[in-house]
Amino acid sequence: MSIAEVVFVLGPPGAGKGTQCTRIKENFGFIHLSAGDLLRAEQKAGSEDGELIANYIKDGKIVPIEITIRLLEKAVVSAGATKVLIDGFPRNKENLDGWEREMVHSGKMNTKFMLYFECAEEECLKRAMGRNQNRADDNLESFKKRITTYISSTVPVMDEFRSRGLLRKVDANGTPDDVWDLTRQLFLVGFVVCILHNKHSVHLQITYRIPRDNRLNQLVHLKKGLRYLRSITSPPQCGQHHFARECGLEFRRGRGGGSWGGVCWSAQLLLYFIVPVFVCKGTSLRQSLSIVVEILILSFDFLKVFNSSAINNLSSSS
């Protein structure tokens, strides 16, 4: 079985983590595991740890890692999932150390990044009090204890992810739709297209990857670039810089070498889509661009298959 890729989801109690996880699950094919839900289910099932779990939750304290990790591992394995959101975990250093020891170092799971929903305390309190899920800890007294635990124990774990460059922060103070607009950007799949061609052949390579940061509207820019590329009938002489300005491409002299030796030009799409284009001697810029256009359209279609709803939303706003 392939290793499960895990995205952790943290933020203060009531920030809307569960609400956004449901949308991520529906749009991007993750399974959603809430550590808190698993603990509550374990407690309700009358397990021998039930009483201990109930007391920890009421006091806003963090349940010992042996219990939580057992429940998480069981849930991932039984779902046979490869893309997993773990909501409300790791809540302290003990959780993180236990996770890395038992899951990461043993090669069972891979941590992708941590999603952090940042939300003001008063707003979280309002949301948690209005949740109506009959939770033992959605009362003012337990909420205060949970916030205290969050600040003293969970924030340092998020700081640890920030220092590793793996924290993705989302402003969660807006409406659920506003927060979703920001969240989905972090899950859009990026791609890298490479084309190498000379008189005889064209080599193409497309690589997909998760974007590293939260650049807004990247697809809108890509579409503008595509429209411009399509509209070109005869690229101006020495028009690389004009071209670059118009569609967000940067031309620079590329390095030749090997079987692709000779002088070439490379163009980079200035988003996190990197599109190197090698225009070799003997091939006109126009010919090369027409190939690039085809490849970009092809890639855009691929992207649609991956992220249809995200693309549709962007299409309607562009």
Ligand X SMILES: O=c1ccn([C@@H]2O[C@H](COP(=O)(O)OP(=O)(O)O)[C@@H](O)[C@H]2O)c(=O)[nH]1
The footprint of ligand ADP (CB under 6 A) covers 11, 13-19, 127-128, 130-131, 175-176, 179
**At its nearest, how many Å lie between ligand X and the CB of residue 37?**
6
Task: Say how far apart CA 285 and CA 283 lie, in whole Å.
Answer: 7
Who contacts 61 (Cβ-Cβ below 8 Å, separation ≥6)? 55, 145, 149
The whole-angstrom separation of Cα 224 and Cα 317 is 12
Tell me: does residue 56 bind ligand X (CB under 6 A): yes
By CB under 6 A, is residue 81 in contact with ligand X?
A: no
User: Under the criterion CB under 6 A, does residue 88 sit at the interface with ligand X?
Assistant: yes
Identify the helix (H) or strand (E) that includes residue 290. Answer: helix 285-306
d(CA 163, CA 143): 28
Contacting range for ligand X; rule: CB under 6 A; set: 35-43, 74-82, 175-183, 289-297: 35-43
The 142-161 site mask, x for binding ligand X (CB under 6 A), equals ----x---------------
Nearer to ligand ADP, 15 or 264 (CB): 15
Contact in structure between 192 and 207 (CB atoms under 8 Å):
yes
Nearest distance, CB of residue 119 and ligand ADP, angstroms: 8
Burial of 272 (0-12, 13-18, 19+ CB in 10 A): middle
Question: Counting contacts by CB under 6 A, is residue 61 touching ligand X?
Answer: yes
Contact of residue 68 among ligand ADP, ligand X, none (CB under 5-8 Å per partner type) = ligand X
User: Which residue from 6, 24, 33, 57 is in contact with ligand X, where contact means CB under 6 A?
Assistant: 57
> CA–CA separation, 250 vs 258, rounded Å?
24
Distance, in Å, from the CA atom of 85 to the CA atom of 5, rounded to the nearest integer, reads 9
Residues in contact with ligand X by the rule CB under 6 A: 13-14, 17, 34-36, 39, 56-57, 60-63, 68, 88-89, 91, 95, 137, 146
